[in-house]
Amino acid sequence: MSFPAASNRSARRLFTSRPGVRRGAAATAAAVAVAALAVPGRAAAAPSAPVPAPRPPDGKQAVATGYGGAVSSVDLDASRSALEVLRHGGNAFDAAVAATATLGVTEPYVSAIGGGGYFTYYDARSRRVYTIDGREKAPKAMKETSFIDPATGKPLPFDQAVTSGLSVGVPGTVAQWDTGLRRFGTRSMASLLQPAIRVAEHGFTVDQEFQDQTAVNEARFRDIVPTRELFLPGGKLPQVGSTFRNPDLARTYRELARRGPSWLYGGELGREIVRTVQHPPKDPKAARNVRPGLMTNADPPAYRPVWRDPTHVNYRGLDVYGMAPSSSGGTTVGEALNILGNFHLSPKDPVTALHYYLEASKLAYADRGRYVGDPDKVSVPVRELLSQGFARERACLIKPDAAAQAPVAPGDPDGNYPPCKPPGNTTRALAMEGPQTTHLVVADRWGDVASYTLSIEQFGGSALTVPGRGFLLNNELTDFDFQPPAPGQAPDPNLPGPEKRPRSSMSPTIVLRDGRPLLAVGTPGGSTIITTVLQILLNRIDLGMSLPAALAAPRATQRNTPQVFAEQAFIDRYGRALAAKGHRLEVFPGPPVGQIGAAAGLEFLAPGLVQAVAEPVRRHGGSALVVWPQR
């Protein structure tokens, strides 16, 4: 794809045209060649047609193209909240906050003010990409051995660690909103909470996805009194088609709008969170062991989100920006792209391209596990992990016709990169990271772009609802590795520690061409987030798919494990050919079984003309909307 020659000023006029002018410009925009990404040194292959797929249910649409701004998320109500802000002159950052607040109502098991996330933002005025690390932090009292059962000397069973106060990190979402709005916002947080308040008060229609997520959590929700009362009304699963209201959350949002973020970070809401963590409101009759947590009243006031330099790699002439540590998303996606840049990948031979994608993922995940953690607590060699020399050294280990036996060992990003270096003999098992997260993308009329991934970790987080407040608390601290390495082994950068952020795989990504936004993409999926984002970029840039096709295409994930986990459609299409190269494919175990991620993306087809893309089927479909649809 190429933009027409135009100055930044003239391009900005296209973005800021009134609706009538913008519609009049549609004919001109339609004449622009937007069919393919032009890669330097290669002929631009026309992208394949979008993969036919069922239309999302409940009035949602998976693709929307038009002017004036766009949004894609997993939820229609959230997308509508963002669109309302865009239509009334708010920018992409404003709209993203409004959408995520609404997701706290309609997607409460994956998104809430009891969690955190990572925000990647392109500011059209400065033509720069910024990122905010709003990841939850461990309390000051947390130690390397906090997840070791003192009675046995072994790590706690994962299910016991999850449903506990011990797993709850200091929430970062509200502080992240406040920090970003102070720099980029044009609306107050109070005004941006209003759409979500309306949805919480009037209710939303329960769909199959909401019921399914509730059913997954039913047993542990029944054991936590305020959680049972809120999410199992009358002691039953909410029925598909019924209306679900959350008046407690409406009151919480209204009070947050009135008092501001200090109500959580040093005020009464923060103290209520701490009481819930220290004294989990478990039903006395329940047999479940719900351990108290380590958070104290001193922890929420000490929380600060962090502005971090984004990761950046150049891939096929495009600038790919992502989230730096404490997320591993930007470094791992970036390293894998750098490795892939050493090979010619063609849409005429997708099997070979996918082989290199799986092998590059395998190598990058090995380095992720060895080197990436919270950079405020451990030294992370970001520059070397993203260096071309290190990528060439790793790429030389890939054989064109044979998959390496996994797990492979990490490389040595030491700045000294001979032509080829044999693999080492140590590696680390893949840590558990829950796949339940959410992602959204927003663009506004001025060309600003938000790519935002946020989470409370598992579906339902810790299962602890703050009494009377209508939201769940996260279990993000289970993203730490529970057990320190044995003596003589390499140090682990992702052990628990005081005020430390656990490593994440969230990968909110923005791609620029010639300094202007081209693509934005992200997804939920725990440690599969990285491979999903990487595969979508591969599909779009190297395999010539349109963005809707790239996002809908069947997925596979290789995270330095013996198996390649994949969706059944991927196995049906590519399994035999990849097995011949030594890849062992199995159906992704979920949850949900056989589905990887639930991505959201957007692409600028021409100045001012944006295509928003949501999942057509996964997690029962997402919602893409634009301010002024293209005619």
For 342, how many CA atoms within 13 A lie in the half-sphere containing its CB? Answer: 23
Reported as type and span, the H/E element at residue 515 is: none
Q: Which residues contact 394 (CB under 8 A, 6 or more apart)?
A: 335, 339, 360, 363, 364, 367, 411
DSSP 401: T
Q: Where are the alpha helices (DSSP H) in 224-328?
A: 225-231, 247-259, 268-278, 299-302
Considering 120, 163, 437, 557, which one is annotated as catalytic?
437
The secondary structure of 536-582 as a DSSP string is HHIIIIIS-B-HHHHHHS--EE-SSSSSEEE-HHHHHHHHHHHHTTT
CA-to-CA separations, 381 to 176, 243, 520, in angstroms, rounded: 25, 50, 26
Taking the C-alpha atoms of residue 162 and residue 176, their distance in angstroms, rounded to an integer, is 24
In sequence order, which residues have a C-beta less than 8 Å from that of residue 329 and are 6 or more positions away? 118, 322, 323, 504, 505, 506, 507, 508, 509, 529, 530, 533
Both tokens of 505, joined, read 């795989």
Cis geometry, peptide bond prior to residue 407 (ω within 30 degrees of 0): yes
Is residue 313 a contact partner of residue 184, using CB atoms and an 8 Å limit?
no
Residue 173 is which amino acid?
T
163 as an active site residue: the answer is: no
Specify whether the CB–CB gap between 115 and 457 falls below 8 A.
Answer: yes
**How is residue 414 annotated by DSSP?**
S
CA distance 387 to 380: 13
Whole-angstrom distance, CA of residue 54 vs CA of residue 58 = 12
β-pair type (564-566, 585-587): parallel
Q: Taking a C-beta distance cutoff of 8 angstroms, is the pair 543, 514 a contact?
A: no
List the one residue out of 88, 277, 99 whose CA is nearest residue 173.
Answer: 99
Question: Using the 8-state DSSP alphabet, how is residue 96 labeled?
Answer: H
What SS3 state is found at 600?
strand
Tokens matching residue 208: 């199959």
What residues are labeled active site? 437
